[in-house]
Structure 1
């Protein structure tokens, strides 16, 4: 298949065109990161992002079909490494409870560090989900749920834990992961000043209350087994 710019791969003009596209895309992502992180979802327009990046709105839409997609591409790199770590933990046969605790605490820290961006993502997901009226489709390149797959790391580990008998098999791993992430995103909006240790304790209590309730009733761990020492 010939390259989209019409020239051979080593054509200087083709390389220049690719470099320009890459720079424009990077400028749009940087501008979007700043805009969503400071103004939130509702107050950020594609036109404003394009202007900050020094391009036209038409150019911005050529790179990203919707505002939802653009935010998904901004947030995705924050959470995709967590799925990689989950796969490594599974391959290394790490105890799934330990791995899940680390994952949830990492998500809480990301949410706290990028609070406004996280709240914007929740708004984008709600709006897009209402529009498509269904679960995410893997080939939908405009769905922020696909582009920023926050539940993936928890789902992978929970599925592994259920297969290996380390966790209860009900509810399904996908349902638990969605429940945990929804609660995380809601708190980014409703509790913007919440300490990530507090958030993670709540999320872990809810998650293991469903998947391994004996952790919450073990006298050795006390009434709050996921509370971090201060």
Structure 2
């Protein structure tokens, strides 16, 4: 945004703030027209900054997604690869359950047309961040053979969608799932 005029930067920041609030209250299907009205701009201004709903959702969730990416990086050197992966997946789930609309956005990321998904979308960033944790757990034998980061993110997303208003129930479902995906017999002795 450095090349934008000051008023365009202000409009972007205002639209993003209004969109964050609207999505938190109404979910991923919040009205773009209402976001524009609340921000005091025309719908054309919204479309210039965010050409698709996906682009708007990606911008809204970018900061939180980056926090999860940093957490994955921090956990990459943890001594127990299984515990690190589980801790990160629990953090992704907590974020998905408590951030209204994120689970819907993540599920849309997977089903979007090829040209619609951008490098900054939540799923792509989480896949990139969590991949090393999955690879390490697989190499250590603490993750069932063939399980991918895409599989695990799909599981977390599905749990978050089904348990959006029940964070404790969501964590229980994740732990039950992981007991099946990462059972103790897969552990190798050190």
1:200 aligns with 2:171: yes
**Match in the other structure for 1:9:** none
Give the root-mean-square deviation of aligned CA atoms: 3.1
Shift, 1:24, TM fit: 1.3
Cα distance in 2 for residues equivalent to 1:89 and 1:74: 25
1:60 aligns with 2:46: yes
Number of matched pairs: 184
The answer to whether the Cα contact below 8 Å between 1:32 and 1:49 also exists between their aligned partners in 2 is yes
Cα distance in 2 for residues equivalent to 1:101 and 1:4: 39
1:100 aligns with 2:85: yes
Shift, 1:206, TM fit: 0.8
**Match in the other structure for 1:51:** 37
**Match in the other structure for 1:224:** none
Which of the residues 183, 192, 195 maps onto 2:159?
Answer: 183
Scaled by the length of structure 1, the TM-score of the pair is 0.66
Cα distance in 1 for residues equivalent to 2:23 and 2:96: 14
1:143 aligns with 2:127: no
Segments of 5+ residues of structure 1 without an aligned counterpart are 6-13, 217-230
The answer to whether the Cα contact below 8 Å between 1:79 and 1:148 also exists between their aligned partners in 2 is yes
CA spacing shift, 1:174–1:111, aligned 2, 3 Å: closer
1:110 aligns with 2:80: no
Cα distance in 1 for residues equivalent to 2:11 and 2:178: 41
The answer to whether the Cα contact below 8 Å between 2:28 and 2:102 also exists between their aligned partners in 1 is no
The answer to whether the Cα contact below 8 Å between 1:31 and 1:53 also exists between their aligned partners in 2 is yes
Using CA pairs below 8 Å that are at least 6 residues apart, which structure has the higher relative contact order?
A: 2
The answer to whether the Cα contact below 8 Å between 2:14 and 2:39 also exists between their aligned partners in 1 is yes
Larger Rg: 1
Shift, 1:60, TM fit: 1.0
Cα distance in 2 for residues equivalent to 1:109 and 1:177: 13
**Match in the other structure for 1:21:** 8
Shift, 1:162, TM fit: 1.0
**Aligned with 2:133: secondary structure?**
helix
Cα distance in 2 for residues equivalent to 1:161 and 1:96: 5
